[in-house]
Amino acid sequence: MSLRVVFAGTPAFSLPTWRALLAADGVEVVGVYTGPERRAGRGRAPRMNAVKEAALAAGAVTVDGAGAVTVTDGAAQKLAAVTDGAARKISPQMSPKIPIFQPESLRDEAAVEALRRLRPDLMVVVAFGLLLPAAALAIPRLGCVNLHASLLPRWRGAAPIARAIEAGDAVSGVSLMQMDAGLDTGPVLAAARVGIGAHDTAGDLHDKLAEQAARLLAENLRPLAAGELTATPQDQARACHAPKLTKAEAQLDWRRNAVALERQVRAFQPWPVAFAEVGGVGGLRLRALRAAVGAAPAGARRGEIVAANADGIVIAAGRGALTLTVVQRPGGRAMTAGDFLNGAKITVGMRCAVAADGAAGDAKTATGDTAETVVAETVAAESPTTP
């Protein structure tokens, strides 16, 4: 097997697959596409993404096109000192002149022509962040394949990991998909299932699926190159969408049942992190990092703190109660609820803001669940329930 491969990915989720490609026999990575630098942090300074860091660490890299920048061997070595050592170990697999492209879009002719000049046999896409137009999809001899963090057609879109946990799915997985012009709509070439543990956060599942994506590609590269994989069309009737997470969703809505709230806590870790406003709207914003489901005493009002001790802060919900066991003030360190209570004035009988008390309530339905969650839980009845 001899394959010229272009890799397209941006965040840390892409890295295991990137490393698998570099280590694969008969594969020559001839180009890297990744997202442009974005401003982040309190200083809003441009921040290099994970894939670009790893590519630079793997050898001297030329970034060509408008505003060309050549990264020297010395610069790459400095970057390597603060990036993943595993990438440095496999650097012999990578040409020292491999180009990195960071387009804002692939829809203009210049960007398409740059891809065409690489003469790829295959393009492997993992959490790239840009849609590929038909002109780009048609360039590689074997087309473009995407490793998507769900069992398609379930959870198409930007946040399949968090939405699977939020909906209470017992199993997730990775799909190797032949890309078409739609959003995660192409036929599936191969898939692998990954169970979701009862205590898994989105961060935990992210790491499991990232490693599984690399294994799935490694197992299927040779049959893909030989034309031995069967492309199975997705059942459009079973499709559901996984919209991007927003900070506006992070406030816990105490009208909802405690089971749904506990799933939200896990789904929103590590970002945007679910929170409660203790003392009402504008009160203490308490981030919920770990939580458990329990019972609420008769007569407890939604959002009322019914217990606060070393075991946790127990808050009545629409059905049941949610016990916050690990919490954090914004900008503070994570700590057990018991430790937090040693220095916080939180007492039984205080209330947390219910979403309807503030702007967040506008997006809720009369059932106490978000409209998206209602859809998700309806579809969940059709999803696999065991790994």
Give the model's pLDDT for residue 356.
62
Q: Which of 192, 208, 238 finishes a domain?
A: 238
Q: Do 59 and 75 form a contact (C-beta atoms < 8 A)?
A: no
Domain end: 212, 238, 264, which one?
A: 238
User: Is residue 154 located within the same domain as residue 45?
Assistant: yes
Peptide bond into 153 cis (omega under 30): yes
> Is 195 in the same domain as 260?
no
Query: DSSP label at 106?
Result: S
Domain of residue 124 covers: 3-238
pLDDT at 315: 98
One-letter amino acid of 290: R
Q: Say if 385 falls within a structural domain.
A: no
Q: Is there a domain that residue 386 lies in? A: no
If one counts the domains in the chain, the total is 2
Any idea what the CATH number is for the domain that residue 359 is in?
A: 3.10.25.10
Q: Which residues of the chain have pLDDT under 70?
A: 41, 59-96, 356-387
Alpha helix (H) residue ranges in 142-280 = 160-166, 202-225, 258-267
* DSSP structure string for 272-338: T--EEEETSTTSEEEEEEEEEEE---TTPPTTBEEEEETTEEEEE-SBSEEEEEEEE-TTS--EEHH
Indicate the pTM of the whole model. Answer: 0.85
What's the CA dihedral at 350, 354, 357, 362 to 10 degrees? 170
Residue where a domain stops, chosen among 238, 273, 291: 238
Q: What pLDDT is recorded for position 63?
A: 54
